[in-house]
Amino acid sequence: MKKILILNGPNLNLLGTREPTVYGKQTFEDYFQALKNEFPKTQLHYYQSNHEGDLIDKIHEVGFSFDGIIVNAGGYSHTSVALADALSAVTTPAVEVHISNIHAREKFRHHSFLTDRCKGMICGLGLKGYEMAVRYFL
């Protein structure tokens, strides 16, 4: 059975209430339950933190034993060399996901430090991007 971590960064704990026109009205917890129902033969794990070091610690914790990491680092995608280094330091492959199309937003969001450390990036497809990333790993 494959083990996949979904790692969400800052402000993603507010999904469902934060800017619903951009991020939708569904909480991530509700979406995650539906995702687990969709993939019952996969061990899906979820971790969210607003703190960069906690995200790095989680990558280190699972980065040699899991089959995949799906990472939406939120605003840290555009600022964190440390998160990029953490992804490079582990052997577990990662896929970057963004709910919104970062290339259609503010210019500072167009670049992600994580992209070249990941197998690929899915952006702009809403929460569906997480499902697509799970399917990639399967």
Binding region? 72, 78, 85, 99-100, 109
- Two tokens at 2? 């494959």
Active site residue 111: no
Positions at the binding site for substrate: 72, 78, 85, 99-100, 109
Choose, from 45, 98, 111, 136, the residue flagged as catalytic.
98
Active site residue 23: yes
Choose, from 23, 31, 46, 130, the residue flagged as catalytic.
23
Dihedral angle of Cα 62, 42, 115, 23, to the nearest 10 degrees: -110
Sheet architecture: strand order including 43-48: 43-48, 3-8, 68-72, 94-98, 120-123
Active site residues: 23, 98
